[in-house]
Structure 1
Amino acid sequence: MAEHPAAWPARIVEQHRSGYQIAVDASGDTHSVESLPEWQRPPNTRKGGVDPEQRPAVGDWVLVEGALESGKVAALLPRRTAIKRGAAGEHYRQQLIAANVDTVFVVCGLDADFNPRRIERYLLLVRGGAEPVVVLTKADMAMAEGADALPGAVAALAELAAQGVAVRTVNAREAGSVAALKPWLGPGRTVVLVGSSGAGKSTLTNTLLGIERMKTGEVRGSDSRGRHTTTHRALIPLPTGACMIDTPGMRELKPTGEEDVAENFGDVEALAAQCRFRDCAHDREPGCAVRAAIEAGTLDAQRFANYRKLGDEVAGAAGRLAQRRAETADDKTQSKAPGKRLADKYGKR
């Protein structure tokens, strides 16, 4: 703030290539502002580009200089929380999903979209200061399929509920049903919706708003997946005084290497601590508490397999992250080297 005494705070509502939409109050009115030039350049360039995760994202607070109608972003304020994933592609990059959120609604439909393993992957990525809540939509469709469909789906997530992750089942089209989410939608709170296309995120947003603001679409009958009716992230004020960030469906969920697998699989970690051997691989070792739990039916074999898979992915991403940081440090050293060589040759002046 001291470096920009005339600047005023605003929150990023939408992110575009060359600028942002910001909000300065809870009225719902937004204004366009220009981005800093370095935020528009690729990282590691001579002109001083920055990594994507270091640029403002929806939910971020920034300082703006100038008049409201022609302001320019002056600085990015520190974040409380950040939800991000590994970006698609061979090279290591992080993609920021949302910033400064209090709660993450992991939305999954109770149709062919229902996948406990994908929910576990979402939970791995969204931890880090924000509270996760699993929101199971299309409860009406589940009940229509049979009396056992809904209890069966909830039972499949029993491990999550046992670790303190709230699970709520709603009909996203009914205001009375989505009222179950109000404990997380109080004044001043920020919630982000994540989930696959067709899970019901936009429908849920419309019901909470009380108006048909977000475009919704039909899902495919074969796999219950939908098209990307939400094409960009947007922060929307709700009548409850909370803010909600709707996001496009994400097909690929790659770890960044900063996740804590143990935090999301506390039940598996607790069992592993009971194994006879400290370095137990949970394969055929005698006295393996993990295998005993799987055989007894108290630990889902697929959940354990996902624990191993995600652990390997996080470890691999952590290695790529370390390599990238080392390369960045080398680039900075080399960029300073020419000036140092000139100073050594001609002397400092």
Structure 2
Amino acid sequence: MNSILKKYGLTNQIKIESEEYNNLEVARVIEQQRNMYKVISEQGELQAQISGKLEYQSDSQNGFPAVGDWVMISLMDDKQAIIHNILDRKSIMKRSVSGSQKSGQVIATNIDYVFVCMSLNDNFNVRRVERYLTVAWDSGATPVIVLTKADLCQDLQEKLLELEDVSVGIDIAVCSAADNEGFDDLQKYVVQDKTVVFVGSSGVGKSTLINHLIGEEVLTTKEIRNGDDKGRHTTTHRQMLTVPNGGVVIDTPGMRELKIYTGNLSKTFDDIEKLASQCKFRNCTHTNEPGCAIKDAIELGDLDAERFASYQKLQREMSYNGLNSKQLENEKINRMFGSKKEMKNHIKKYRKMNKR
């Protein structure tokens, strides 16, 4: 097996699948900038673009190559290649994007772990962690919560306590680049044949973590803004890098808000779904019905009301995906008023009240 591609995670299974394509070479996408790609093959790094046939057959963003993909290429010369096929993906992480696009945007593929990075400064937000975990669990990879900038935190145990309900069954690593602590906890995931993607808001220190794992400053980093603890964008595109001790990592641009395209609420909110199954009525809305296990748990203090509100918000957001503008408007009307008829009745009543 080629030593270059083995460093990037080439396995016997991928090699066997690639042999089904005659006259093409296997490569892995290691960088993406709009419609241009950088791939690694037996020939080394190559600039690549997709073939006209692949572009024609791709009816959504999912059909285009993404960082992490194993692809079949043909060489144009010693520096350029054409991507003809994408091999089967074992995992795929996506997010929703603004506009009319209904297929979602691929963040990374063929990943084993998702490092959900959150800084322990004023930017710490449990609800944001829930959002990232919902997408991470849905990808087919295993999430790990990575808390950064521990040297700036004066209440670490309180923050860990806040994450208790969110992090059931999930490993948490606490790191400080300033004190050079916590990196051994990350290294056990970044090993041969494993791919790790780093996700999180701008300024949480993803690039700094990767630099420490690699052992040199390969990625540019910037300090957070003074006064508001908000990060500055440093990474502008997705890229894959090898780690000397084995394994590969994928750096991604910081996201101000991760919009959910598809997600696994059952995994992230297992406690809430178990409670909901105990409600007296199967179609319980958890508002005014008697025998509601959710309401009882909130009143008893066994369930955080904010956590349940977060669950409902993400549930609504996921059901909006794939709707056109008219369907989206109808869905919002139904949620606010129950139906268009009820909305019209509400407007009539409001107008009558204003005439008095």
Q: Choose the corresponding residue for 1:35, options 39, 44, 50.
A: 50
Amino acid corresponding to residue 96 of structure 2 in structure 1: G
Provide the rounded CA distance (Å) in 1 between the counterparts of 2:295 and 2:165.
Answer: 17
Question: Does residue 121 of structure 2 align to residue 118 of structure 1?
Answer: no
Provide the rounded CA distance (Å) in 2 between the counterparts of 1:204 and 1:238.
Answer: 12
Question: Does residue 291 of structure 2 align to residue 274 of structure 1?
Answer: no
Question: Does residue 247 of structure 2 align to residue 247 of structure 1?
Answer: no
Structure 1 equivalent of residue 90 of structure 2? 80
TM-score normalised per structure 2: 0.80
Amino acid corresponding to residue 264 of structure 2 in structure 1: D
Counterpart mapping for 1:1-349 below 5 A? 1=18, 4-24=21-41, 30-37=45-52, 50-66=59-75, 68-127=78-137, 128-142=139-153, 145=154, 149-162=155-168, 164-256=169-261, 258-317=262-321, 319=323
**How far 1:24 sits from its partner (Å)?**
2.5
Does the residue aligned with 2:143 lie in a helix, a strand or coil? strand
Size of the aligned set, in residue pairs, is 308
Provide the rounded CA distance (Å) in 2 between the counterparts of 1:3 and 1:169.
Answer: 44
Give per-residue Cα distances to partners, 1:313-345, cap 9 Å, x unaligned: 111115459x9xxxxxxxxxxxxxxxxxxxxxx
**How far 1:191 sits from its partner (Å)?**
0.2
Provide the rounded CA distance (Å) in 2 between the counterparts of 1:71 and 1:133.
Answer: 35
The 3 A distance-change label for structure 1 pair 52 and 39 is: farther
CA contact (8 A) 1:87 1:93 kept: no
**How far 1:132 sits from its partner (Å)?**
0.6
Provide the rounded CA distance (Å) in 1 between the counterparts of 2:274 and 2:297.
Answer: 11
Please list every run of 5 or more consecutive structure 1 residues that lacks an aligned counterpart in the other structure. 41-46, 324-349
Give per-residue Cα distances to partners, 1:164-212, cap 9 Å, x unaligned: 1222211134544211112211111000000000111011111111111
Provide the rounded CA distance (Å) in 2 between the counterparts of 1:172 and 1:188.
Answer: 26
Give per-residue Cα distances to partners, 1:58-93, cap 9 Å, x unaligned: 110101113543432221111111111111124434
**How far 1:236 sits from its partner (Å)?**
0.3
The 3 A distance-change label for structure 1 pair 202 and 78 is: same
Give per-residue Cα distances to partners, 1:103-162, cap 9 Å, x unaligned: 0000000011110101111111122310011101111111xx3xxx10111111101332
What is the RMSD computed on CA atoms of the aligned residues? 2.4
Moved over 4 A (4+): 173-176, 318-321
Mean Cα deviation higher: 133-142 or 271-280? 271-280
Amino acid corresponding to residue 62 of structure 2 in structure 1: E
**How far 1:303 sits from its partner (Å)?**
0.6
**How far 1:48 sits from its partner (Å)?**
6.1
**How far 1:281 sits from its partner (Å)?**
1.7
Amino acid corresponding to residue 112 of structure 2 in structure 1: D
Amino acid corresponding to residue 310 of structure 1 in structure 2: L
Provide the rounded CA distance (Å) in 2 between the counterparts of 1:206 and 1:196.
Answer: 17
**How far 1:36 sits from its partner (Å)?**
1.6
Amino acid corresponding to residue 145 of structure 2 in structure 1: V
CA contact (8 A) 1:4 1:74 kept: no
**How far 1:282 sits from its partner (Å)?**
1.5
CA contact (8 A) 1:105 1:135 kept: yes
- Sequence identity (%): 40
Structure 2 equivalent of residue 44 of structure 1? none
Mean Cα deviation higher: 246-255 or 95-104? 246-255
